[in-house]
Structure 1
Amino acid sequence: MKPSLHAPAVAVADPGEGYVFDNDNAHATEQHRCLAASLDAITTARLADTGVTDGWRCLEVGAGGGSIATWLAERVAPTGEVVATDVNPVHIPQRPGLRVLRHDVVRDPLPEETFDLVLSRLVLLHLPERHAALAAMVRALRPGGRMQLDEFDIDYGPVLLAPTRAAGELYERFLAAKARMFADAGADGGWGRRAAAAMREAGLVDIDPVPYLMPWHADSPGVQLLIHHTHHLRDRLIAAGMTDAELAEVRQVMRHPEFRASSCVIYSVQGRRPR
């Protein structure tokens, strides 16, 4: 039986085998913490620009740790509602005005013309069926409703300074292995720069893509996320050509006080369903 977002709870298929960030993984909590520390300020500032307020009905697809869904629930209170979905929503907190549902946007239907705002962050880049998922999310918008996609373009993110040339080269080999790993899992590492065109092709108007870059050093949340990935994604990184010794060494490179890099590009793209 297919799930419905009108039901109080649903049960659907397990996450796809290719998806690299399993919420049952022991590293998932730290993954969500690092993402929130690195990206929530960008995501919430853009969401505030939509005018989201009391009474809006919002959908977050792939809500992960729930930090953005919680922020939205506070904005739409007391009369609005946020529906937060995930294929494995175990990390999304329960709170008034926030409905948490187990849902797979690739396999399971969404109600049509229902939401004032639909958000997805760092989800579609991982889905080989990203265009079909985007089309379903567009249909879920009411006429005049707004969509926001926040997505990475991991094809850019150079080291700017490292303690030695060899250390900088090792960091870039690590990024290349990570890109290969994502590609092998069906992800599109450059999806962020293609999201705006995809949203227009899906029928949205008033498309507004905004790129963000952040300077990174050893204490940056984004660097902490990469260090975390050397543990969380260890097996996949080894399969992509790294060794345990290289992973240990690149951790030390990223922790070095002289380390400086650019983040990858984060695209926050908004659009509107025509009335």
Structure 2
Amino acid sequence: MTHVQTDKRGYVFDNHSPHSGEQHRCLAEALDPITTERLAATGVTAGWHCLDVGCGGGTISRWLANRVGPTGSVLATDVKPVDVVGHPNMTTAQHDITADPLPENHFDLIVARLVLQHLPERDEVLAKLVRALKPGGWLQIDEFDTSYEPVLLAPDEEGERVYEKFLAAKTELMRRNGGDPTWGRQVARAMRAAGLVDIDPRPSIRSRHAGSADLGLQLHHTHQLWDRLQSAGMTSDELHAVQAVMRDPSFRASSSVIYSVQGRKERRR
């Protein structure tokens, strides 16, 4: 869920890419446990009306749909909705959060995972999401800060170098397209500036190793972004080399930090 709105230059992880299905699967495996644990803490239950912005493959939308039941609803939106398996309590819609309207004072819960960091208009989008919440409603934003994802153990110095170059090339691609891959650490402050209360940022870090979901996502990116990574300075030989590094059983690295941040719209007095 993720993968979403785009600026005029084009979103890095295009949903119309033949790789998008695997991108969504990897993201769900790596991040759904974090996202759903935090969503459950809001108390989301039968009768709630929810919005999933940038729903990607729809796994979070379906989780919410099971929670809200037939008396509630989930609106799952994406600028290019694909591969979304439906649910009786869920509606899927094509929607550009940077340009298309949302109803105001409408949703009990809004979730946006790995969306706003890709948008140059992130402050304006955040304000729109706050307006769309009912008084007392919850907003959850899950975002990476990729400034921290160090190598802990590589097969050799060259393996460490090429892995770090791969990460730097991905960061360059995001910034080139108007994104901020470190925005996760700024979400809590942005929520406060937007007027939310009861703000609670929770950082998470995991181990990347062969067979882990988090490293599997990175390995997938070498295929999905092959040409674009070369445009950011990697050679074909280096891409093959970094794939070998990530498949090495001895390789260990830290994930980036993912911040799951919740805030609530103040109730009317």
- For the aligned pair, the TM-score class normalised by the smaller chain equals over 0.9
Following the alignment from structure 2 to structure 1, what is the Cα–Cα distance between the partners of residues 83 and 137? Answer: 27
Following the alignment from structure 2 to structure 1, what is the Cα–Cα distance between the partners of residues 260 and 32? Answer: 12
Following the alignment from structure 1 to structure 2, what is the Cα–Cα distance between the partners of residues 51 and 213? Answer: 25
- The Cα shift of 1:22 comes to 1.2
- The Cα shift of 1:78 comes to 2.3
Following the alignment from structure 1 to structure 2, what is the Cα–Cα distance between the partners of residues 15 and 269? Answer: 24
Q: Does the residue aligned with 1:151 lie in a helix, a strand or coil?
A: strand
Amino acid paired to 1:196 = A
- The Cα shift of 1:168 comes to 0.8
Q: Does the residue aligned with 1:63 lie in a helix, a strand or coil?
A: coil
Alignment of 1:98-247 (within 5 A): 98-247=90-239
Q: Does the residue aligned with 1:211 lie in a helix, a strand or coil?
A: strand
Which stretch shifts more, 229-238 or 257-266?
229-238
Q: Does the residue aligned with 2:188 lie in a helix, a strand or coil?
A: helix
- Are positions 1:76 and 2:86 aligned together? no
The answer (yes or no) to whether the contact 2:6–2:118 under 8 Å persists in 1 is no
Amino acid paired to 1:109 = P
Of 256, 263, 270, the match for 2:248 = 256
Which stretch shifts more, 162-171 or 260-269?
162-171
Amino acid paired to 1:189 = P
Q: Does the residue aligned with 1:41 lie in a helix, a strand or coil?
A: helix
The answer (yes or no) to whether the contact 1:15–1:88 under 8 Å persists in 2 is no
Aligned match of 1:3: none
- The Cα shift of 1:197 comes to 0.3
Q: What's the TM-score once normalised by structure 2's chain length?
A: 0.96
- The Cα shift of 1:173 comes to 1.0
Q: What do residues 5-61 of structure 1 show as CA deviations (whole Å, max 9, x unaligned)?
A: xxxxxxxx9974321111111000000000000000000000000000000000011
Give the unaligned 5+ runs of structure 1. 1-12
Amino acid paired to 1:265 = V
Of 86, 110, 117, the match for 1:94 = 86
Amino acid paired to 2:51 = L
The answer (yes or no) to whether the contact 1:23–1:91 under 8 Å persists in 2 is no
The answer (yes or no) to whether the contact 2:111–2:141 under 8 Å persists in 1 is yes
Following the alignment from structure 2 to structure 1, what is the Cα–Cα distance between the partners of residues 172 and 200? Answer: 30
The answer (yes or no) to whether the contact 1:15–1:87 under 8 Å persists in 2 is no
Give the unaligned 5+ runs of structure 2. none
Following the alignment from structure 1 to structure 2, what is the Cα–Cα distance between the partners of residues 73 and 179? Answer: 34
Aligned match of 2:39: 47
Following the alignment from structure 1 to structure 2, what is the Cα–Cα distance between the partners of residues 19 and 158? Answer: 25
- Are positions 1:63 and 2:55 aligned together? yes
Task: Count residues in correspondence.
Answer: 263
- Taking every aligned residue pair, what percent have the same amino acid on both sides? 59
- The Cα shift of 1:234 comes to 1.2
Following the alignment from structure 2 to structure 1, what is the Cα–Cα distance between the partners of residues 102 and 138? Answer: 16
Q: What's the TM-score once normalised by structure 1's chain length?
A: 0.94
Following the alignment from structure 1 to structure 2, what is the Cα–Cα distance between the partners of residues 37 and 258? Answer: 22
- The Cα shift of 1:199 comes to 0.6
- The Cα shift of 1:272 comes to 0.2
Q: What do residues 112-148 of structure 1 show as CA deviations (whole Å, max 9, x unaligned)?
A: 0000000000000000001111110000000000000
